[in-house]
Amino acid sequence: MRLAYRVVGSGPPLLILHGLFGQSDNWNTLSKKFADIGFSAYTIDLRNHGLSPHSSDWNYTVMATDVHEFMHEHALQNPILLGHSMGGKVSMFYDILFPGNLKKIIIADIAAKQYPPQHNDVLKALLSVDFDVIKTRKEAEDALSKHIFDIGTRQFLLKNIYWKDSLNNKMDWRFDLKTISENYPNVSVEVPLFESSTPCMVIKGSKSNYILDTDIIDFKNRYSQLEIKVIENAGHWVHAEQPNAFFEVTKNFIVT
């Protein structure tokens, strides 16, 4: 699958993978900062997200293989792979399927374990938005607000609305909501046990409960070269909530 992407800068390749319901332009500001310190920063739309194609096949193996094909297509050698949330698990699966291909790996606020369903309310909210009836973003937000009370989460999701048919005033979600809702358990699975010598940094938000002490132990069993960084006053969207701190810890890891 040919993935949609954006690239800024020139230099060693740094590939950035978004989380569930995310897209490449969520990382525009940080990618420019990485370009400023000498990297080619590629922000990628994973399948069924952003401008990338949709497919009923949706799991970590196919997403990691998509990333591998992207690297081959663009002749990228020994890239650094940075993944947030779902993108972090894609990165770990990549390291299993294609060992030795990465220079470094950065995993932002996700563990290798299986998670209980955490997006049921979000899926319910998204499925409640009927674009045959809803014709404006404000109407879409009103529909989401009945299920999602956090304004930031609503705004994050609303960024995915686009004009599917402007002549007929028809909007839609850029992500493949049908496939995601039907295959959601596929992104909750545990990453199989593996051992890797790829230098790895795990970044955790201090207010997030996605990574626990037991998960740190698990990471140490998987990665022989491991750094753990905790960013204060940040939750799960650590890169968006504390972008400067996120950039600094990432910069210190990738430039050495």
Which domain range does residue 16 map to? 5-114+191-254
Q: At which of 163, 182, 201 does a domain end?
A: 182
Average pLDDT over residues 92-102: 97
pLDDT of residue 96: 97
Do 200 and 244 belong to one domain?
yes
Average pLDDT over residues 242-247: 98
- pLDDT interval class at 174 (50, 70, 90): very high
Give 198-226 pLDDT, tens digit per residue: 999 999 999 999 999 999 999 999 999 99
Do 134 and 95 belong to one domain?
no
To the nearest 10°, the Cα dihedral for 67, 71, 74, 76? 150
Q: At which of 182, 214, 231 does a domain end?
A: 182
Q: Is pLDDT of 167 > 90?
A: no
What CATH number is attached to the domain comprising 41?
3.40.50.1820
Q: Is pLDDT of 117 > 90?
A: no
Do 22 and 108 belong to one domain?
yes
Do 47 and 148 belong to one domain?
no
Enter the tokens of residue 205.
């938000």
To the nearest 10°, the Cα dihedral for 247, 255, 44, 57? -110
Q: Do 17 and 27 touch, CB atoms closer than 8 A?
A: no
Do 107 and 66 belong to one domain?
yes
pLDDT of residue 178: 96
Question: Which residues does 151 contact at the CB level (< 8 Å), separation at least 6?
Answer: none
Q: At which of 134, 161, 182 does a domain end?
A: 182
Do 97 and 16 belong to one domain?
yes
Question: Which residues does 133 contact at the CB level (< 8 Å), separation at least 6?
Answer: none
Do 196 and 176 belong to one domain?
no
Cα 20 from Cα 26, distance rounded (Å): 12
Cα 50 from Cα 164, distance rounded (Å): 13
Do 10 and 76 belong to one domain?
yes
Do 107 and 124 belong to one domain?
no
Do 11 and 74 belong to one domain?
yes
- pLDDT interval class at 104 (50, 70, 90): very high
**What is the domain count for the chain?**
2
Do 86 and 197 belong to one domain?
yes
pLDDT of residue 238: 96
pLDDT of residue 134: 92
pLDDT of residue 256: 78
Do 170 and 204 belong to one domain?
no
For the chain, the average pLDDT equals 95
pLDDT of residue 165: 86
pLDDT of residue 57: 96
